[in-house]
Structure 1
Amino acid sequence: MPPAASTRRCCWCCSRRSRAWSPRAATRSPPRKYQIATGFGCPDTAACDDQYYGFFNQLYNASAQFKRYAQNPYGYAHVAGRTQAVRLHPNAACGSVSVRIENQATASLYNYTPYTPNGALLNGRPDGCSSYGNFNFAKFYDDWFGRPNFPVIGAIAGVWQNNQNLLGQPTAVEKTGLTKGGVMQQFEKGTIYWSPATSAQMVRGGVGTYWGGQGWERGRLGYPVSAEKSLVRSGVVQTFQGGHVYWSPAGGPQTVLGAMVGRWSAMGWERGVLGFPVSAERALRSGGAVQSFEGGPIYYHPAYGAHAIRGGIYQWWAARGWENGMGFPTVSERGGLRAGGSVQSFERGAIYWTPMHGTKAVNGAILTWWGHNGWENGRLGYPVSDETVSGVLVYQNFEGGRITFDTRNGAITVSYR
């Protein structure tokens, strides 16, 4: 009787030292290696089941399990022909990556050993999130049968020859029949894509994982049109038909599209005050959207375009309900006001910041009167408080006095210091 599904995992999936048996190591393998040669009956988080000990038992039960996978291809977690999330380690905090499972043999391997090696392991620097199961399977295949010889030809060969240190060796033959006449070939550390519209480009690392999660060449980003480019502070960017994918240590992989990228570029891209993107674009009410960057968010509204909100102005605005309070920004922040002040206008008023008084909002009838009388350059100067409601009266203090608004009749009263 086969063991429970939870025990059909390799005890050596996550251990570098407890390698399974291979013919090259047969003459020096201790008895324990033969007892658990294929890791059958060895769960990730418990001791191996001794009823499956022994070289024959291990090979027989493991091969029988692989036959069961093939006989019921849709009855297990990983299915051939799908792109699926595969975890990097039994510890879920280590995350997962999107993997295209091309055939039943690969699906069976991931069902038997449900983890894929992370970039640290592939680059020869394993860490606490590195798992060895399928990494070892590949090494055993090479031991038994030799490394497959996959030809690399045409434009893909040119890119590979110039980037062998980054891509490693080919792991499959070139695949044709992609959308819009494209082809691709997989390598140990990345993939090269070619299409008639874009030429050959490699995709790898965090950018490649993100792109795969967006639907590969069939998604909104389309094919890559440039190589990956290094940026400041260890960031990278790669351009695709549908936009740019940025990766940084601060934000991971993110796309910046449409009006957002227009505003971000006007403010200096990743070298400017906003820095790298740290979130995806998120839809808001009334057709609006927001995307966060290291230095603050960019908000978009169809009527006003895209504008960044930063510093004290953003903090005041956010504390009072974001776009549901003062509304969306209608212009970008304008600095260079008297005494080092700055201002940004919103749908329902303006927010001013000064070194002397911090952040204050002015709106409604008080804003209208104050603006008609010179704004911060008039006799009243900057606001020094927010509005205060006292019964039917609304008043606000300024450097040079007070404006009072009577809600009963709309009358404005001004008292100067």
Structure 2
Amino acid sequence: MVDPAASGIVKTTLAGFTPGNLISDAVFTDKTTMTEAQIQAFFNSKVSRCQGGRDENNEPIVCIKDFTMNTVTRPADAYCSGYSGAANESAARIIYRVAQACNINPQVLIVMLQKEQGLVTHIWPSAWRYRIALGQGCPDTAPCDPNYIGFFHQIYGAARQMQIYMEGKWFQWYAPGRTWNILYNPNANCGSSPVYVANKATSALYYYTPYQPNAAALNAGYGLGDGCSAYGNRNFYNYFTDWFGSTQVSSGLATATAAIQGEYLAQGGAAGPGAPVSDVTRLQQNGGGYGRAFSIASIYWTGSFGAKTVWSGPLREYYFARQGADGPLGWPVLNQQPLTQGIGQLFSGGSVYSGSKGTFVVAEPLRSGYFAQNGANGELGMPTADQVCAGGVCSQTFEGG
């Protein structure tokens, strides 16, 4: 673990730190919090100039903002969707792609890089720091597992391991919903105290680093406590809250909640979409996003399309019958529009129209041509059936042809 004093960060309080709820499940698994470009910009902001040169083993010194490597292919399994290896991938790209594959918040991986090896702020990191970047497969009491050596293997292995921990099938001694005596230090003589573990993410962090900070560690901020202090989970909380905000409310969730509330009010509030019937919920498919159901409408938010409303009626019935935002139609791109012969709404996976002939979708490869002829307001008019594709040929009937 990196000496926190080396980062130059001073923290005077750990207000809000709760050993049994280090981070919520929603924040821990929110893979939408940062794009690859945002991760790269964050790394750039933490190191203005890298020292360069060569390390003690005569290997090049490369700061994380400039680090690249060839990655390897990993197969999909129950925990991650797999990874296609590529040449010269940056650290930011690796972290982003692994986060998407394993449904882990990229901010979690960034914080772990800092608390384990100080790689985010280090201006002269030795090459060995990358080889054991997250301490994955590196127990306190034994050498590192050679299968996990290397930056890519560390990132992918740690993210996948977190999903295994949260599954709770193979690891159960810090299971959520129970109270456990958690040590203060690898030295058992330093004692322990009971901790009620509130959620899966917190249990995963304790499987990864099985110690809680004692009073001396908590009173020291980022600094050193006493001989019985351990700092891993304390520093996780410190870096996360200092860099990214609350460990309980995802920045993605907070953004989505505000945007959905804004759209709700713009559409008339209780007099428009009606009363809320669900919380803002994270949806995983089609790139990920958020939705909230109301009595008369559903409002969805994504970083690409913003907040959009799907009103009760034939369009929403058709949308829900096809799994909504998790289905082939994807996310609403525009709000519902009045048309000459009915109504229509543009979704990322197709455009849904409803008129006197029924409710149907116009999707690619026909949608581009349909739009080129002014869509439902053009000579073709409203669709009268869904498209049919067979043998590489797609066809669809419309009122006008």
User: Shorter-normalised TM-score: what interval?
Assistant: 0.3 to 0.5
TM-score (normalizing by structure 1): 0.32
Q: Which has the higher contact order (CA 8 A, sep 6+)?
A: 2
> Which one has the largest radius of gyration?
1
Higher strand share: 1
TM-score (normalizing by structure 2): 0.33
